Amino acid sequence: MRKFLFTILSLITLGATAQPKIAINIVIGGMKASDIARYADNFSDDGFKRLTRDGAIFTECYTDFIPTSDYTALATLATGALPSMHGISATKWYDRADKNRVVELCRNEKGELTTEHFSAQTLAGSVTDSQRGAKSITIAHNPLSAMMLAGDSAECYWINERGDWQSIPSYSKVLPAWVTAHNNIGFNRIFVMDTWFGKLSKSKYHNSHATDIAVYDIYAKNKNTNSKKETLGWASKLHITPAGNGALFDFAKQAVD
């Protein structure tokens, strides 16, 4: 595997009269459709095997645009629209109306995260806007991935450089009590406290961020590092190792509750 498979979840709670009552949209980065058959023997009966056995598989799915990027694809999945409609065609572009100023995706001139670049409604946004009592929560490891699925409304969270779940005022002016409580106890640390052991040999696992996937004990002292670097170290492992998927999955269960 060239890189770990990270998930993005969009949890949409529908109104009381709608069926089904909850929809969960899961996007797994770096996973090909053929991987489901390739790694079938490694999957549990209640995971991908259940989806392939009891669900519907679409074998002829295409997008009518090229080239693509992670965020362009996510925006297309979230909106059902092409880049010409949802406005996410690249991570950077020139603003010809403003002296060819370089614009960075979901960043304003001060470098702060913004939702002003969205021009099409996402599934999450359409449900919450059209159904009374409906809620939507989108979760990802990084802000742009979460924001692409969330659009410009509902709740949206990602893991920051401190290892905490974060949002911006466009989604939540104040973090809900359940998110604050999760951060205050440092719950995400649990997932990087022990070494992660894979099923295959260590040489088989690597990605574009790190070739060593071992998650070392966060309490191990290194004479050549200070406390600040140690803090950043454990948090960064949530983005480059399977520990991040564990943190995301646990947070998603709390979101459903």
For the record, the structure tokens of 146 come out as: 């979460």
Assess if residue 19 is contained within a domain.
Answer: yes
Assess if residue 134 is contained within a domain.
Answer: yes
Q: Which residues of the chain have pLDDT under 50?
A: 1-5, 215-232
- C-alpha angle 39/242/161, rounded to 5°? 150
Express each pLDDT in 7-53 by its tens digit.
Answer: 566 766 666 555 678 888 889 888 888 888 888 887 888 888 898 88
Assess if residue 196 is contained within a domain.
Answer: yes
Assess if residue 76 is contained within a domain.
Answer: yes
Assess if residue 147 is contained within a domain.
Answer: yes
Assess if residue 90 is contained within a domain.
Answer: yes
Q: What is the mean pLDDT of the chain?
A: 81
Assess if residue 206 is contained within a domain.
Answer: yes
Assess if residue 1 is contained within a domain.
Answer: no
Which range marks the domain in which residue 36 is found?
A: 6-256
- Whole-angstrom Cα distance, residue 15 to residue 143? 27
- Whole-angstrom Cα distance, residue 190 to residue 20? 33
Task: Compute CA 136 distance to the chain's CA centroid, rounded to the nearest angstrom.
Answer: 14
Asked whether 7 and 245 are in contact (CB, 8 A), the reply is yes
Strand order in the sheet with 155-159: 22-29, 6-13, 135-140, 155-159, 165-166
Report the number of distinct structural domains present in the chain.
Answer: 1
User: Which CATH number does the domain housing residue 190 bear?
Assistant: 3.40.720.10
Inter-helix orientation angle 243-256/177-184, to 10° = 150
b vs e for 102-128, b when ≥16 Cβ sit within 10 Å of the residue's Cβ?
A: ebebbbeeeeebbbebbebbbbbbbbb
